[in-house]
Amino acid sequence: MPANSFNNFTEYGIGIGLRVPHYRHILSQKPVVDWFEIISENFMVDGGRPLEVLDSILEQYRVVQHGVAMYFGSADRLSREHLKKLKRLVKRTKTPWLSDHLCWGSVDGRYTHDLLPMPYTFAAAKATADNIREARDFLEVPICVENVSSYAEFHASEMTEWEFLSEVVERADCGILLDVNNIYVSSQNHNFDPYDYLNNVPPDRVGQIHIAGHSKFEKYILDTHDHPVLDPVWKMYAHAVKLVGRTATLLEWDDSIPTFDEVHNEALKANQFVEKLENAPA
């Protein structure tokens, strides 16, 4: 189950996000890391230091691309210019699969730089799936879509978020990047049981898992990626691994970033859940 067509039949283990404060450490110390996830848009440039760093990383590490601005859920058609730039990067990194979010974020060429929630309707699912298919056909690489954390729900919705996610990935025939922290955050903001979510997504489509930390405010939880992973999220991760098996897992830490070792050690905690699963009696 873990190595599937959605992650190009790879078994990548535990990775972390490649972030600027760690560049020097990684390039000089060359720590052993299963893989790095890069934010595609940071490297969709024409030259300079970002591409130099990326090339050095690619010489020594496996890299997977993760996007934040494809906006599969936008009613507008995907930007061909954006896809071309992305494809140039795909060729450079040889990413075995590519992920982006199940969300929208731009209208008529204006960008919010945010991952805005979808109305969970059949029409929205169809439009989103069409966009994903178009991207996959153009980029010629498997695509996994990631569930986002959200702070609003729409009156227009006709189904739950997990039903919507399933509808989209079945229609698009693509994979899922299952973000267990995002499920937890949304479950707290929208009063649903996160295990209902986990139990109802198609496990055979999960190509990758994300874990991260979040911040609690008085009336809602925000996905801030600036903390270690919290216990409820680790518990959900353990449950997710039971359902989908050993799957490429990535820790996101994007703000108040500590040392490389601290981030890496936090990510490696995921191994204990995988090992527990594998040592469990059949």
Query: Interface residues with other proteins (CB under 8 A)?
Result: 19-20, 39, 41-42, 44-52, 68-69, 74-76, 79, 82, 104, 106-116, 119, 121-124, 126-127, 151-156, 189-191, 219-220, 223-226, 254-255
Q: Which two tokens stand for residue 181?
A: 């922290």
Q: Which two tokens stand for residue 175?
A: 């994979």
We find the least distance from the C-beta atom of residue 112 to other proteins, in angstroms, to be 5
The dihedral over CA atoms of 147, 148, 151, 152, expressed in degrees to the nearest 10, equals -60
**Residue 93: other Cβ atoms inside 10 A:** 21
Residues in Cβ contact with 6 at an 8 Å cutoff, skipping those fewer than 6 apart: 97, 142, 143, 144, 174, 175, 176, 205, 206, 207
Distance, first Cα to last Cα, the chain: 16
Distance CA 156, CA 268 (A): 41
We find the least distance from the C-beta atom of residue 85 to other proteins, in angstroms, to be 9
We find the least distance from the C-beta atom of residue 180 to other proteins, in angstroms, to be 17
Residues in Cβ contact with 163 at an 8 Å cutoff, skipping those fewer than 6 apart: 120, 200
Nearest one of 183, 263, 206, 227 to 19, comparing CA atoms: 263
Under the phi-then-psi rule, with left for phi > 0, alpha for psi from -120 to 50, and beta for the rest, what region is 136?
alpha
We find the least distance from the C-beta atom of residue 71 to other proteins, in angstroms, to be 9
Q: Which is nearer to other proteins, 22 or 62 (CB)?
A: 22
Q: Which is nearer to other proteins, 5 or 121 (CB)?
A: 121
We find the least distance from the C-beta atom of residue 276 to other proteins, in angstroms, to be 30
Q: Which is nearer to other proteins, 129 or 241 (CB)?
A: 129
Q: Which is nearer to other proteins, 53 or 240 (CB)?
A: 53
We find the least distance from the C-beta atom of residue 15 to other proteins, in angstroms, to be 17
Q: Which is nearer to other proteins, 166 or 181 (CB)?
A: 181
Q: Which is nearer to other proteins, 124 or 270 (CB)?
A: 124
